Structure 1
Amino acid sequence: MTLNPNSDLPESMAHLTLYMDETGSRHPDKNSGLPKGRDWFALGGILVENEKKQAIQQMRDEMAAKWNITAPFHMTDMINERKKFSWLGRLTQTDRDVFWSQYRAYLASLPVLGVGCVIDRGGYVARGYLQQHPDRWLLCRSAFDILVERSVKYAVSVGRKLEIIFESDPGINGTIEGYYENLRENGLAFDQKNSDKYKPLSAADFKANLTHIENRPKSNRILQVADSYVYCVARSGYDKKYEVFRRLRDAKRIINFTLANEDIPSMGIKYYCFDK
Structure 2
Amino acid sequence: MQALVDNKLLIKLSYDGSPVQGLYLGSIFVNQSFAFYMDESGSPKPNPRDPASHFAVGGVLIQHNDESRIRLQIRNFKERWGIDESVPLHGNEIRSRKKNFAWLGLRSENEQNQFFLDLTTTIVQCPIMVHGCVVSRKGYIDRYLERYGSNTWGVVEVTHVAPCTP
Smaller-chain TM-score bracket: 0.5 to 0.7
Q: What does residue 77 of structure 2 align with?
A: 63
CA positional deviation for 1:67: 0.7
SS at match of 1:137: helix
More strand by share: 2
Gaps of 5+ in 2: 1-14
Q: Is contact 1:77–1:84 with CA below 8 Å preserved after alignment? A: yes
Q: Which of 96, 111, 123 does residue 95 from structure 1 map onto?
A: 111
CA positional deviation for 1:8: 9.6
Superposition pairs of residues 42-81 of structure 1, within 5 angstroms: 42=57, 44-70=58-84, 71-81=87-97
Q: What does residue 20 of structure 1 align with?
A: 38
Gaps of 5+ in 1: 146-162, 167-209, 213-276
Q: What does residue 147 of structure 2 align with?
A: 133
Q: Is contact 2:46–2:152 with CA below 8 Å preserved after alignment? A: no
Q: Which of 24, 40, 47 does residue 55 from structure 2 map onto?
A: 40
Q: Is contact 1:63–1:106 with CA below 8 Å preserved after alignment? A: yes
Q: TM-score, normalised by structure 2?
A: 0.67
CA positional deviation for 1:30: 6.7
The amino acid of 1:19's aligned partner reads Y
Q: TM-score, normalised by structure 1?
A: 0.43
Distance verdict in 2 for CA 1:87–1:38, change over 3 Å: farther
CA positional deviation for 1:123: 4.0
CA positional deviation for 1:80: 1.0
- RMSD of the alignment, in Å? 3.4
Question: Which of the pair has the greater relative contact order for Cα pairs under 8 Å at 6+ separation?
Answer: 2
Identity over aligned pairs, percent: 21
More helix by share: 1
SS at match of 1:72: coil
CA deviations 1:215-248 (Å, max 9, x no partner) are xxxxxxxxxxxxxxxxxxxxxxxxxxxxxxxxxx
Superposition pairs of residues 199-210 of structure 1, within 5 angstroms: none
